[in-house]
Structure 1
């Protein structure tokens, strides 16, 4: 063993078809491949770059790791990359004030870059609900440009200025992709050192910044996905992915020749040679076919793969790029570069497969020169040039991984976990609305409490700095309550009503009504109550408020109405306001004088004062006759007192028996009109004929009438 394991960079490319492990050693700017290992999945445990069977994938990872350890010693940490499946991309710039006297160092620049990533996380949180955001991890980023005091600059290290600015593209993947990757590594006794995105890893080693002024598309065609990255004007402009790749070609061979998937995969690799291919289908029949014939058989599927890739490139780039680089095992598909060039309307020489031998500053042996080794080597290089490390903390008993930035705070952990900090604050108590003297008022509830935060059992705040393996607990603050308001709390400066009752001055307080019912001022207000607060207005209210109800003493008069016992209340005194006779409902103003004068002989009630208006008035129907309004009785009421006919003005004595009788309702007919009008029904001439109409329609004398009918009698 020539190298210590601690000096080596261990990277894994966990693909849909196989797992590739690479060991590199860095000496200044040169990377040397020390060892590598490849192991294929026995089952289809990965689809489209996503782990579907963690146990199977972890076993393959363990196999690769064990073989490398046998030759190089123990391996504990590994750098990995995730495919671009379901990625989200945020592009932004972030500026930071820098000390004017000191030079910027590598840590300053890295902190600025990672702070920009964190700002990208915040933007992602603003555009997604909290339940969705915490399912995403940042898996890589690329620096587009640096700026110093507003001017673009190639590198910030050892520069001096007032404002440093970095523009980045940060990419995020679903948590299920990252978590399944971490779980598979853990089962293989490996700890994730860094994580990146496959197109980021590849583009940084194949297309250095000096080449990025060209509009180049890099396509990493694996087994399950084809990841795409684009450069232009000196920067990486976009990332994308299509869920079709080499497995589509394997499936095409399997379908065309009735082959098991593993056999089809083996045959697909033989298509890179010029030798005839011999195979046996699932029925046991043996065939020999030329490569040209087999490629022609699956050419529609090759064209479909090229179509999907070219469509995505057009979508991301807006036009054809200047050139396309193909990497990954799927890039070796026969005729694919030529078909893709046609789809992109490029010369065939502008679409080329690039292998690991195209990587600058890399020392490797001949067995690693193929395009399938670009990404695993790129992952190892990215671990050094663009490291993204995580610290792990516990947040409410749930493990959270977050960037190992300087001064990671509790608030950062909550943001990364997708917790909506606003929801940690107790909600204000529900306000209530109340109408006070006709005016709408809103009474706010109490404020909610702030959240209770603990770090390692000690009180903390959102800006408390956390370390690896810290334990954070957060309890939401309690909600506020609805307001506890009494009627008296609504009293404004109403004052008192000063009046004289029989020459004695009274200063009377306001009266209170709640939902049109008298209430006490100590009653609790409920939502939508209608409160009336006013001074007494009538003689009766004033006498009651002044506690002089003795002045309103009455006597009872008993009588019967249609043989049912009734009682009438008679006052024993006369009322005057400012020397004018008044009643209990008479209005009173400030400083008015009320006089209550007892009477020796009470006034007797009339029949009309005891009976309702409906009992006294005959009901009738309104019609018109020849344009003249007319009322036709329907029901008529007759009045009797002690058996004798009576009129509404008759006085009633105590003990009187009152009766009223209503005739049954009748429906008037046309001929009833003549009982209430004076009209000559004789013929005006020998040749004339009588014509009767109701509402313009012919009618007879016995036709029934309705309310509002228009009657006519004419001679023609």
Structure 2
């Protein structure tokens, strides 16, 4: 005899009942019946009025029983939008521990899941109990560096970031209550997104990052797959009704006629409608689509925004659309455009895409039946059941949505995974040269977990009536560290200064007493290690004051004020690179200190930006002449200095400066020799730039000057 499967898709707007006939691994659709809620009994996938929902379920059950006989059990689904996802990170200190094993990593992962569970509980004001229905690891990190796996790794700090999915217990309990009032028992439970994905996406494709969007009347539900699992769920409160209302406003139609017009847009080029005034109108399909484009754009924008938010701002590889609202015209193209995907990567999927499903010609093959059929098949193939286990003598009822393991049971029992490890050994606090350092003790040992009396691990699968016992791991030992290890084992250094090798040894005291460094530190020790920390302290320790003096900033006094020129001081290098006295040195460094020669007055004046002379090039008798005038006079002990005079550090100089004034014609005579004519009365004319001028005429750079000696004729 062929087995009949009865399933219900309890939606926000309506309830769909479906009967499948199972034969081996194939299914045949026998009957479908749908009925809308008479009042707002459902909100976002959660039953708000159990009595009203149970009445609709009873009506559907009665209609189907008249043809197919009585039903006692039914398969149902929890809405994907009722699920909550949360990201969480957990970090542990692994310094001094052996390489990480699979068990250590599972402890870390489950601790992160519990952290996510805590976050969900804090966000929830109704204090609902949440079942963890799965989690995925997003990142492993070791000492801040992202890794693909932590197995056999060692370091100081390990962390994991996960995304976990939780289902409120109240969702399941309200489903059970509504079914009970309709004289039905829950045969199996599944999740709506998982049901649709299981029938549309084969196991070989579930590693792909794909978005499934179920567009209903009032909401659009979204589920994302990646790495073989559902990684996130979401919902936007906008769907097919938004488009229907837009058509109603545009064409003056009541809501049912607008809904029919929307459906006709999918397969008709011209739409014939009767508006609320009784006029019959015919509209081209493209004109209606153009009129409702703003509503289409809002729907596509809302769905694409939520997909990107759930998928870390990255578009998925493909998008599958199901549900009655998915047939909205032009929606797949707009979604592809907003997600920057090729148009063939966004597609509507109907029940004809479901493998091993026989469909009669009387059954519609549209996308609105994917979820109801998926519920029936998924509940048959992968039903969610309850199991009971005992954890530390305490009975725990588990919501067995997947391969339930020991770790899941510990989570459900409320045990803090992190507290099963032994406590770290006593830490010690010591002070080295006044700086406080904490020395952690050794890590505690992992806990002992047994399943039915046999030692087990967190990922071991459990069955109904299994018994789990936990024993806290042994505590770690106190910190044991030698003084020299805190000093990096470097208590002597060898350095070379100006070609001479020097060996420097540190002096170490503990609590005022001299020690060798081989002693173990104790809590609150005051350790002082004296070793020159800078090059300057090193030179002082080596008693080489003349080298320090050569590095003092070059200075002298000018008009009673001290002038410093650091660039003229000595130069210090470490391993061939310029450095400073305040910098540190290491074992094996080579330090060279060189002294700069005393500068000349011209160099000093240039560094002080003092203009020594004022010059201007002119032409006299077509030959270039450089006019110059001294603007600054430097004197040392009343002796006038020229530019080549050496200025020693500590010298006292006097400076007299003059303001630069323009040159005049007569200044040329200080720079040229005038050839007087042998005959004549020595009468002359001064010429500047071909114009007669005077001795007091100002001269600018580039001016051309001449003296003319006119000949006087005899009367």
TM class, shorter-length? 0.3 to 0.5
The structure number with the bigger radius of gyration is 1
Instruction: Give TM-score, length-normalised by structure 2.
Output: 0.45
Instruction: Give TM-score, length-normalised by structure 1.
Output: 0.45
